[in-house]
Structure 1
Amino acid sequence: MSTLATFHPLTKLRPFKNKWRVQVKTHMAKVQRALPLGKWGVIENVQMNPAGGKYRTTRHPYKMAISDETVIRGSDLADDRIFLSLSNYESIGKTDKKEFVYLIDVIGRVHDLGDVLTVKAQGEDRKRVEFRLVDSQGNDLPCCLWGTYAEQIEAFIEKCDDRTFVCLIRFAKVTFFRGEVQITNAFDASRMYLNPTEPGKSTGKKDGKRIQYDWNDAEIKPISEIMDATKVEICKIICTIEAIDTDWAWFYFGCDRHSKKVNKLANIDYEEMKRIDKPKFHCEICNAIVTHVSPKFKLHVVVKDDTETCSLMLLGSVAKSIVGVKVDDLWDGSYGEIEDPEILPEPIRNLVGKSFCFGVSINSENVSSGSATFLVLEVCSEDKVVSIESGYEAISEMGTTSSTMSSGGVKDDADLPDLTSTSKKLCTKVIKQEKAKTD
């Protein structure tokens, strides 16, 4: 039996005994002798006491008591998960004072950033900065940071000269100020990240620019359950493609440097057009006019299982793994807009009726905003299971896109807005396959 089997999950810890043995990752530097910040460690022989007081870091009813009998040592476990649990802005705004005893994780874009000021607080000079955090739905929360957190923002502004950026605050404190809910740092316990690259990653390891997920450990869930999900996570669903959603184009044009969507420029001079063999596009990431663009898969499908129906979006190599051919082989070479979305390449039409095991991301838009569109991160091969009708063996080594974050996700293959279309109805039309005629 693996030694990992002897570790107890934190949710099972209770005061009835002291011989608990856990493997944990440290997020706050309170016990530093063998549990450095951000590292995994093993703790044995801990007593559990009732958790109480203001500003509790978790909702667990008990807390660990480190005594002289407690043994703490390092662990060789390699797992880069940050176990982020982002709070919903609307829920924060409706929370009563009794709920303010818990610290929260919150992320948003910084707006109305004030100057970093030095003020008198409790008889000492301390730096303070005020701003508002805005999520992807336009909800906003006032935020006030003190001390080293204000200094961190001050240094960031001086370095990049940008007063609009994304701010992630872990273990933030929720208070009332002037009759309004306010986010602030919880003394020195909070952790802040400015323009984080992968803040919403719920699981997986970072490998260069790609995140590798352990899909063997991901739970298989029915569609009805992911539609009612209450937390950000990854999971697997086994489903059948019922329709190709032709409300969306099956590809987009992306910059060849990073695959992000580009916008075609209008009103280009005719003489200029004669000097180039393709139209010009503007790339927001490169902040330049580019011509090195190509089509990228962005496939929307409607899927069903025995419980429910939902929409999935497959990007880049993930879509290619089920279509079976490169997007360039299906593209007609035109840079113009699609005139008839019902006209689909045969390999895409042939997907209707086939079944797969998809690894999907349940992101904050699905949880907090009710979006019924889920991003497919992987076509899974659960113990080498092949897709039910196609006979296609899913490839677990295909590249995947990165996960999302609360106020706009980060993806390798496309832009975000499609995932946030909460009011979009599910496609009900099914692209049927023609049966071969027999003599």
Structure 2
Amino acid sequence: MDEVNPYTAIKNLKPFKTSWCIQVKILHAWNHYTKGSGMSYEMMLADEDGNKIQAGIKKEHLLKLQRYVKIGHWTIIEEFSVTKASGLYRSTTHPYRINIQSSTRFSNSPTISDEIWLDLVNFNDVLSGTLDQNKLVNVIGQLVNVGEIQLLDVQGKPTKKIDFQLRDTDDNRLPCSLWGKFADQIHKVSKESVGGIVICLIRWAKLGHYKEIRSISNAFDASEVFINPILTEVEEFKNLLPSDGLALTIMEPKPRFQPLRVREERSKQFERKTIAELKASFEVEKVKIICSILSIDLDYSWYYYAHIKCNKKVFKSKKTLSSGAKKIIYRCDKCATDVTSIEARYWLHLDIMDNTGESKLMLFDSFVEPIIGCPATELLDVTNEQIDEPQPLPDVVKNIIGKTYQFLVCVEQDNISRGNDEYKVAEVLTSQNINQALPINDSVNPVDHSSISSNDQVLMLTNNSEKEDNSQTLSRTPLSKRKEIVDDGSDQSSTSKKQCTKDSDETVTDVTVIDVDNPNDWHEPKFFHKLEEAAQGNLKEVKHEREKIVLKNIKVEKIDGKNAPK
């Protein structure tokens, strides 16, 4: 007569009684927190047939019962209740779960099996979306294309995250994201194993779906991650991998900003204006301007510290502890709470100019970083005790002074009716050395040739329509070379080109030629600025000493093709 098994199989557990007795292996255990139930200690149990069920010990029973929970060991559990399994991320397919009570008894059991019952899912099932999104899955794959580790704000706490891909034996790629300690684990192995074959096993992973992309990630501490585990399944998987030599690689970080061509294409709908036209605008709009940066206004700070989660400025304050000591804290007004996850952001106030006038621009972090070339976090230390004290302007930020950019600028009601002379930048459209001339407003104060004389320097303008015969020679000659050509004194007897002298017998020795039709000369905005100002009889001093150009008197002459410098 066969002996009756005193243990109930997991698949037969039902809620109608509590006098159950099971013999199970504890596969995994972790702390779990839910808003409704609070903290509990969860376990993953499996019987000798490989059937699994989740069990939980409430916080009030932990002190008594947690010591009996030994991961990887077999145990006998008696007297517990069975309730319906629910929730977004269920670790088994069993319709019920076990609730451990204060009366529940644990006792030792001999080892029945060393199996871990993986129940691996196919990548195609994950990517196609045919799996139940509320249930956790086990996946195995070759680790490829690992990204850089990131630090993100999660419920007010800085948390690490890493993105990577797993590939299967059919070369399907599954996007993965791991958080917290698992991100550190993948980051460490990726640095140590570049160029090698790394197999990754993720147990009880959460299925994700965002913007038509299906992926997996860890379900808090319910998940487990194993790198190159010694298992029969792993060896079989490695033997089936394509023999293409693909090894672990580090992915380049994703660009934070849209490509320049995308921004420029989107900006075509907006009109381009000069600064004078910008200041004369009387309607709310966005316009494009090309301008040179004169200075950075340091009456304002060039940076601020922001709460990572909501991206708003934080304020520093001091909190007195019970011991009497003072602790530095940061307060976010939007969240109305004290925060610890902060980082530095750019915030620039710029003085700008073109040949029609001067104005001011304000740029926030996302527009400054593309032209600076590095994030503010690399230039500032958040742990600095002197967070309220302005930090010196770094050279890498100073380098934008004197350079020419194209911006998409917002004309707002504050600028029109409330006297605000500072405009917000909505987009950075080009970087330095743009291949367009600064816009010139020819309708204002035309040049009066008779009122201009020469003193120390001559600024000559040439026009391609009148110098066809010499365009190939003159327009392709570098500016420094053209200066030497004119300075050699040749062709001084030309009747169409007057000698520029302070007195009738004094010869000018410093001549600069600017070709208005030659794009190579368009990146010299200082000459256009000075020419326009001289034409209006209102020569101004350039604000920055290192860019100061002294032009006492300027003579403008037309050079025809026949008498152009050879």
| TM-score of Structure 1 vs Structure 2, range by shorter chain | 0.3 to 0.5
The structure with the largest helix share of the pair is: 2
TM-score (norm. length: structure 1): 0.44
With a CA cutoff of 8 Å and minimum separation of 6, indicate the structure with the bigger relative contact order.
1
**Structure index of larger Rg:** 2
